[in-house]
Chain A
């Protein structure tokens, strides 16, 4: 009897293997497990047998059906995966076809440098202040202690505009007038930086432009010292350029600071590179900003922003920043 079912399984195996798609397999499944199937029929007539025989045959039938189900399931899985495989094969895509020029835009290198500096000083507790690019003579010169008749006020380096009285309105030559505006508008303590666009009557060449950018820092508080200035510049230097950079101050002259200094930076042991100017806010400038120099003391420092951008990206010509060649803009 068992042999009959072994034979049945053998035949069924052949039929299952031969089913080449799910539809054919379905038919085979009905034939093997449906109501008309050999095992179903046999099961139906179990009642006619002696209990001993019935039990024995019942076991055989169950075992056979289980095996059939397993074989059908295995075949079904195989066919399924073949279909999926075929389907996936039909959907094959070359993704490099899509990798054609979809890109983010780029912030200008000056903006990148600008924002990097802002972030650094924000981390040091500074705010960011702004002022107009077309300034009056008072904020650009007078309030900054440029004496009357100072040659800077004549037409050599300053671009004036035709607005108001002659030589009353100009394109600011530095970001320093923002110092005055901040002092006018805010009460100390002031810890602020002033990035911005400035202008000089210069012919464009690889290191000069009539338009460029500066960043300036102003601190006004009680008891601010020259040592604070030196320490702040040192902190900025190592934060921006790296821990192994150092700074030094050398005596210099600016009408709006005293004592004044140039500040140099270098990679430890390397050559000094002149970076910017700095100093203690001149008492006359504090007065111009409406502050009592006996009560408030401060320092200021400033430097060229474009130059840092050039240094970071090894750009050798300042004019490139303003030429707006797409091959430049899209690089950074």
Chain B
């Protein structure tokens, strides 16, 4: 199968960021651009309708109109005038008075700021009432006391070139009074810029676009037969050709044309190819381009006198083989490039990409060998890309040209050369491996089932016939023979798409399927929303840094340097994938600090990518939550965590002093739930902060969301509570700094046992009279029994035991 999409330089994917939403409409990568003139389209079919409507029809056919311009209209009101005489303006140095004849034999006075014309010259005159392309309306007016009855125009003023300096001087064959458009052969026309999808190689030609439009409008389409006469020796006596590598070249056709004279192309032909974006060079080059634009078939011409032995051979190049191409550059070839060689087997052209300088057409050329071929699309794609030689021709070869249009294109080439050109009778036509044209079975019920239509066999036959697909009804089905210009079509579904396209997408009735699933979020997706809502409630803003880092940034954050690397980064700053959200958020803090935005409270919930511990097909990609509080100490982040744990209904967790890399060595804990570490909280290591150029303290929470959410949570059963009165005990202990408040609390919990219904740390105090290296921790305990009112004796017993236990265990001292 042919790769029909080889011209594509990008992924044909859903739209992303690249549709033109900022106003400048940009061609989507992967598609080709084809310009067509309405007048040219009409040479193949009697196309009807207003230009806007035709534009709509092209879009509905899948040939999106990127731009539509009316050409020639801007020359309305501009006529050819003959300069009769010149005289200075009596009151102005920079203006002269020009007398012209605008066709009525009378002398007309014009004031003009240019001085490059002489009596007898023909010049463009914008007559009174003309609207110039820049919107200015020409009126009769006085310049320093002298009347000016119009304006003489420079090329730039009427969009006919870049020359601002002088008035455009027209050729001597001009005639005063004719419209400038007629004089220059510029027709009022409509130019469409079309975006052509990779599966439409046929639409990379004017005729191909016309074929589609004719199918839409249900009007006849035909490519007129060129009129050419043949003379001289039969080609078989002149030229020999051999396809050495049939996998490179599917078809190689050549003809010999004598009596060539290299000259400028006629104006109309120049105008047309200029409109379609090609620069006129000489008749041979221009006609080659004209035929390519019209029929989609590129060609190459050789000066036959320079082709050794008048022989062509087509083969893969040898590694290291060299050729000097038409642009004068010596190029090294590889075995993946195709070449055309001469009888001595020396390359004289790179297949489908560029000819060689040795056989280039010159002023002295009189006999030309014209070559048209079908090249393997992927070969042309590789070579043109490798050599950086992308052209209109290579673009067409890459998509797949029509091998059967070649004869017509050859004749059209000769016809355009004019009657002086003499074509030798006969044709060289060598065949290599051409993709086979297969018969595709199309099932009518399948068509309707896919499209949601109710088309019958006859409807479908008519649609396919209109776009040149040969059909044959086979019982309930249709056998389709795909035309040579549609190499993209090889499956039943391809044909169904064509049926839909020509039937009209907009004619298909819109229905909505009733979903058979319950619409819902998964538990994890719900938790993610809960996490974000909680963070919002705590006053944290969500940040979204890019997941790329520069080399060294992981290390700067104190993390392992084994981040997954991008193999082909555009810039070094985007060459490492993050293994933690921390570096990105620290960079965000630094960026904001550099804009004098401090004290930020941010969070991010996103993917991180790590080298897996054991080999696995893809990296260890997990989801992480990081929040950073700039200008805050560790205590503040603990509140964030405890609120989050509460929101997700994790009622049991432990904060255990720890010093993971990148965190502050003495102000950090790991978070454990059911013995499993799910994250860390504390402050960022000051040395990390200085590397990231963050000057505030930063409190930070980092949670592995996959680990966290894999632990059962979110469900709380009703816990009955006592109806009897409760009693409170306040206990303040003096303990060493090394003992965590949690340890003391746990000791109290154990000691108070089942009677304890609530305990919290309500005061921490350092300084006199508490001795150095110690602090006072004050707890409030609430005691309550389920089945009775506690007696004073019971409360006193717990009170005493608690004191004794804490004092003993932690060398603590009760403060009174």
A160/B536 contact (C-beta < 8 A), A276-B14, A276-B15 known? no
Interchain CB contact under 8 A, B5 and A307 = no
Give every chain A residue within 8 A of B20 (Cβ-Cβ).
Answer: 207, 274
Interface 1/0s, chain B 511-538, versus A by CB < 8 A? Answer: 1111111111110010001001001111
| Residue A71 at the chain B interface, CB threshold 8 Å | no
Beta-carbon contact of B510 and A107 below 8 Å: no
B-contact 0/1 string along A118-133, CB 8 Å cutoff: 1001111111100011
Interface check B424, CB cutoff 8 A: no
Chain B residues lying within 8 Å of A152, measured Cβ to Cβ, are: 8, 10-12, 30
**A198 closest partner in B (C-beta):** B16
Least distance between A53 CB and chain B CB atoms (Å): 60
With A136-B617, A162-B565, A210-B548 known as contacts, the answer to whether A274 contacts B17 (CB < 8 A) is no
Among B7, B510, B543, B546, the residue within 8 A (CB) of A231 is B510
Give the contacts of B367-417 with A (CB-CB under 8 A): 378, 381, 385
B61 interface residue per 8 A CB criterion: yes
Tell me which of A105, A206, A211, A212 contacts B603 (CB under 8 A).
A105
Q: Which residue of B lies closest to A146 (CB)?
A: B11
The reply on A157 being an interface residue by CB < 8 A is: yes
Cβ contact within 8 Å between B566 and A228 = no
Contact yes or no, A161 B566, CB < 8 A? yes
Residue of B with least CB distance to A157? B10
A328 to B451, CA, bound (A): 45
Whether A128 pairs with B6 at a CB distance below 8 angstroms is no
- Name which of A6-14, A60-68, A165-173 contacts chain B: A165-173
Q: Does B43 contact A (CB under 8 A)?
A: no
Pair B505/A249 contact, Cβ less than 8 Å: yes
A251 close to B (CB within 8 Å): yes
Q: Which residues of B contact A167 (CB under 8 A)?
A: 567
Contact check, B8 vs A150: say whether CB atoms are below 8 A apart.
yes
Mask, B569-610, CB within 8 Å of A = 1, is 110001001000000000010011001010011110011010
CB distance from B167 to the nearest CB of A (A): 40
Say yes or no: B14 contacts A307, CB within 8 Å: no
Contact A151 B5 (CB under 8 A): yes
A330 near B16 (CB under 8 angstroms)? no
Q: Could you tell me the distance in whole angstroms from the C-beta of B799 to the nearest C-beta in chain A?
A: 38
Q: Are A283 and B493 in contact (CB under 8 A)?
A: yes
Q: Which residues of B contact A163 (CB under 8 A)?
A: 564, 618-619
A282 to B200, CA, bound (A): 18
Asked whether B67 is an interface residue with its Cβ less than 8 Å from the other chain, the reply is no
Chain A 31-46 interface mask (CB, 8 Å, partner B; 1/0): 0000000000000000
For B17, give the chain A residue with the smallest CB separation: A212
B-chain residues with CB within 8 Å of residue A164 when the two chains form the complex: 617
User: Complex Cα distance A169/B611, Å?
Assistant: 13
Which A265-313 residues have a C-beta within 8 angstroms of B? 273-278, 280, 282-283, 297, 301-304, 306-307, 310-311
Q: Is the CB of A255 within 8 A of B577?
A: no
**Any chain B CB within 8 A of the CB of A115?**
yes
Q: Are A228 and B452 closer than 8 Å at their CB atoms?
A: yes
Contact in complex: A326, B541 (CB < 8 Å):
yes
Given the interface pairs A230-B505, A250-B62, A253-B198, the reply to whether A277 lies near B14 with Cβ below 8 Å is yes
Asked if B532 and A107 make an inter-chain contact with CB atoms under 8 angstroms apart, the answer reads yes
Given contacts A126-B519, A262-B64, contact A327 B597 (CB under 8 A): yes
Comparing A21-29, A77-85, A90-98, A219-227, the segment that makes contact with chain B is A219-227
The B interface is mostly helix, strand or loop, or mixed, namely loop
Instruction: List A contacts of B574 (CB < 8 A).
Output: 210
Nearest Cβ on chain B to A147's Cβ, whole angstroms = 5
B21 close to A (CB within 8 Å): yes
Known A169-B618, A283-B491; contact A304-B536, beta-carbon cutoff 8 A: no
A226 vs B364: C-alpha distance when bound (angstroms):
61
With known contacts A104-B536, A134-B609, A277-B15, A250–B514 Cβ distance under 8 A: no
B513 in contact with A221 (CB, 8 Å): yes
By the criterion CB–CB under 8 Å, are B544 and A322 in contact? yes
B547 within 8 A of A: yes
In-complex Cβ contact of B378 among A107, A149, A321 (8 A): A149
Q: A251 near B505 (CB under 8 angstroms)? A: yes
B14's contact among A147, A174, A228, by CB below 8 Å, is which? A174
* Chain A: minimal CB distance from B792 (Å): 38
Q: Does B508 make an interface contact (CB < 8 A)? A: yes
- The contact of A225 among B452, B567, B577, B621, by CB within 8 Å, is B452
Residues of B in contact (CB 8 Å), total 106
* CB-CB nearest in chain A for B493: A258
Question: What are the residues of chain B within 8 A of A216 when measuring CB–CB?
Answer: 14
Within 8 A of A (CB), among B12-66: 12-22, 26, 29-30, 59-62, 64
Complex interface: chain B residues within 8 A of A115 (CB): 529
Compute how far the CA of A154 lies from the CA of B238 in the bound complex, rounded to whole angstroms. 44
A216 to B16, CA, bound (A): 11
Whether the Cβ atoms of B14 and A214 lie closer than 8 Å is: yes
Residue in chain B with minimal CB distance to A234:
B510
Task: Determine if A2 is an interface residue (Cβ-Cβ < 8 Å).
Answer: no
- Are A174 and B16 closer than 8 Å at their CB atoms? yes
Asked if B542 lies at the interface with its beta carbon under 8 angstroms from chain A, I say yes
Structural contact, B8 and A151, CB atoms closer than 8 A: yes
CA distance A123 to B519 in the complex (A): 6
How far is A316 from B26 in the complex, measured between Cα atoms in Å? 16
B116 near A: Cβ within 8 Å? no
Separation in Å of the B560 CB from the closest CB of chain A?
A: 16
Q: Does A318 contact B (CB under 8 A)?
A: yes
Question: Is B100 engaged at the interface, CB distance under 8 Å to the other chain?
Answer: no
Nearest CB in chain B to that of A138: its residue: B617
Asked if B3 is at the interface (CB within 8 A of a chain A CB), the reply is yes
For A324, the chain B residues whose CB sits under 8 A away are 543-545, 588, 591-592, 602
Contact B519 A133 (CB under 8 A): no
Query: Which residues from chain B contact A200 at a C-beta distance below 8 Å?
Result: 10-11, 16
Q: Which residue of A lies closest to B574 (CB)?
A: A210
Contact of A111 among B3, B493, B542 (CB under 8 A): B542
Does A54 reach chain B (CB closer than 8 Å)?
no
User: Is A209 interfacial (CB 8 A cutoff)?
Assistant: yes
If A147-B1, A274-B15 touch, does A230 touch B508 (CB 8 Å cutoff)?
yes
| B299 in contact (CB, < 8 A) | no
What distance in Å separates the Cβ of B689 from its nearest Cβ neighbour in chain A?
A: 18
Q: Which of B74-82, B152-160, B261-269, B495-503 contacts A (4 or more CB under 8 A)?
A: B495-503
Contact status of A166 and B567, CB under 8 A, knowing A226-B450, A258-B497: yes
Does A203 make an interface contact (CB < 8 A)? Answer: yes
How far does the alpha carbon of A252 sit from the alpha carbon of B198 in the complex, in Å? 9
Q: What is the CB-to-nearest-CB distance from A175 to chain B, in angstroms, rounded to a whole number?
A: 8
**B566 in contact with A160 (CB, 8 Å):** yes
Complex Cα spacing A9 to B144, Å? 111
The interface residues of chain A lying within 8 Å CB-to-CB of B7 are 151
A231 to B501, CA, bound (A): 17
Q: Is A261 an interface residue (CB 8 A)?
A: yes
Instruction: Flag whether B540 is at the interface (Cβ < 8 A).
Output: yes
Q: Confirm or deny: B449 has a beta carbon within 8 angstroms of a beta carbon on chain A.
A: yes
Among A156, A202, A283, A304, contact of B15 (Cβ-Cβ < 8 Å): A304
**Min distance, Cβ A237 to any Cβ of chain B, angstroms:** 11
> Of all chain B residues, which has the CB nearest A301?
B14
A177-210 vs B, Cβ < 8 Å mask (1 yes, 0 no): 0000000000001111000011011110011111
The answer to whether B542 touches A147 (Cβ under 8 A) is: no
* A259 CB–B CB distance under 8 Å: yes
Show 9 residue pairs from A and B whose CB-CB distance is below 8 angstroms, ordered by the A residue.
Answer: A151-B8, A161-B565, A201-B570, A225-B451, A228-B512, A251-B197, A253-B199, A297-B449, A324-B591
Chain A residues within 8 Å of B, Cβ to Cβ: 102-108, 110-111, 115, 118, 121-128, 132-136, 146-147, 149-152, 155-164, 166-167, 169, 171, 173-176, 189-192, 197-198, 200-203, 206-212, 214, 216, 219, 221, 223-228, 230-232, 234-235, 248-255, 258-262, 273-278, 280, 282-283, 297, 301-304, 306-307, 310-311, 316, 318, 321-327, 329-330
- Ranked nearest first, the 4 interchain pairs of A and B with the lowest CB-CB distance are A125-B515, A251-B62, A227-B452, A225-B452
Known: A249-B506, A250-B64. 9 other contacts (CB 8 A): A122-B521, A127-B522, A152-B11, A162-B564, A191-B517, A201-B568, A226-B508, A250-B505, A303-B15
